[in-house]
């Protein structure tokens, strides 16, 4: 009986040792997997460092290339257009424009927005009604209802959105702005219609297509 008990104890010990060896093998396999993952992460980290250096180098080259390229002062360009071409009043401090100014400015802004909408491929069947509704809304402008802060917010958001169109289209807007701004200054001899300076006879179109081709556009 004692002998049988000794064999039984040895068998249990043998099973326990086998279990420990199996667990040890699992731990070794997990350790190998962990080290493999660590190695992969280290290699990826090295790749990211290299990519970061490449991006820094590219950014430095871009800065060097654009350092001497003038950035248009768009506010000053519009002030010059107001003074030399459109005869619009230029504010010297924040205030609401007159009702007449608001109507002219909103009419021009909406006309350009509708032109952009048409150029984006909008359904032409709806554009006449849109123009009519906008004209009626502009005719009903009441300066007492106008709010300067919201007007400024809407104008800035419109500028931001318009720039977003150009960014989405892959266009560098600076040289295009210069082309259009210089072309607008040639309208000084045109007739005034509803407060807007119209293009005089023989007025040349701004060569936007030529600039886009310089930027890589293929018609």
Lowest-confidence segment of 15-19, 79-83, 111-115, 209-213 by average pLDDT: 15-19
pLDDT, position 67 = 53
User: Alpha-carbon distance 162 to 180, whole Å?
Assistant: 15
Please identify which residue in the block is written with the tokens 């554009």: 127
> Which parts of the chain fold into alpha helices (H)?
2-66, 74-81, 99-119, 127-139, 148-168, 173-184, 208-214
**Cα 126 to Cα 105, 121, 132, 173, distances in angstroms:** 23, 12, 10, 29
For residue 1, the model assigns a pLDDT of: 45
**What digits encode the pLDDT tens for the residues 37-65?**
878 888 887 777 777 677 666 656 655 65
User: Nearest-CA neighbor of 193 among 108, 128, 116?
Assistant: 108
Is the pLDDT assigned to residue 152 strictly greater than 80?
A: yes
**pLDDT tens digits along 186-196:** 998 889 888 78
Name the residue with higher pLDDT: 90 or 16: 90
pTM for the predicted model, two decimal places: 0.65
76-120 pLDDT tens trace: 999 999 999 988 899 999 999 999 999 999 999 999 999 999 999
Cross-strand bridge partners of residue 192? 197
């Amino acid at each position: 009986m004692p002998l049988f008990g000794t064999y039984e104890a040895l068998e249990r010990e043998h099973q326990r040792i086998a279990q420990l060896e199996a667990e040890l093998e699992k731990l070794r396999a997990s350790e190998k997997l962990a080290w493999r993952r660590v190695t992969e992460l280290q290699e990826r980290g090295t790749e990211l460092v290299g990519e970061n250096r490449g991006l820094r180098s590219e950014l430095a080259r871009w800065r060097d290339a654009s350092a001497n390229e003038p950035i248009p002062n768009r506010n000053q360009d519009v002030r010059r257009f107001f003074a030399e071409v459109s005869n619009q009043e230029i504010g010297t401090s924040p205030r609401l424009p007159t009702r007449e100014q608001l109507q002219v400015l909103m009419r021009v802004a909406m006309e350009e927005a509708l032109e952009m909408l048409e150029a984006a491929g909008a359904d032409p069947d709806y554009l006449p009604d849109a123009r009519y509704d906008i004209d009626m809304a502009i005719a009903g402008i009441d300066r007492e209802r106008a709010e300067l802060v919201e007007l400024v917010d809407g104008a800035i958001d419109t500028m931001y959105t318009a720039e977003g169109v150009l960014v989405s289209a892959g266009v560098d807007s600076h040289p295009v702005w210069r082309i259009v701004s210089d072309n607008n200054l040639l309208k000084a001899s045109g007739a005034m219609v509803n407060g807007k300076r119209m293009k005089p006879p023989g007025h040349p179109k701004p060569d936007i297509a030529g600039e886009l081709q310089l930027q890589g556009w293929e018609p």
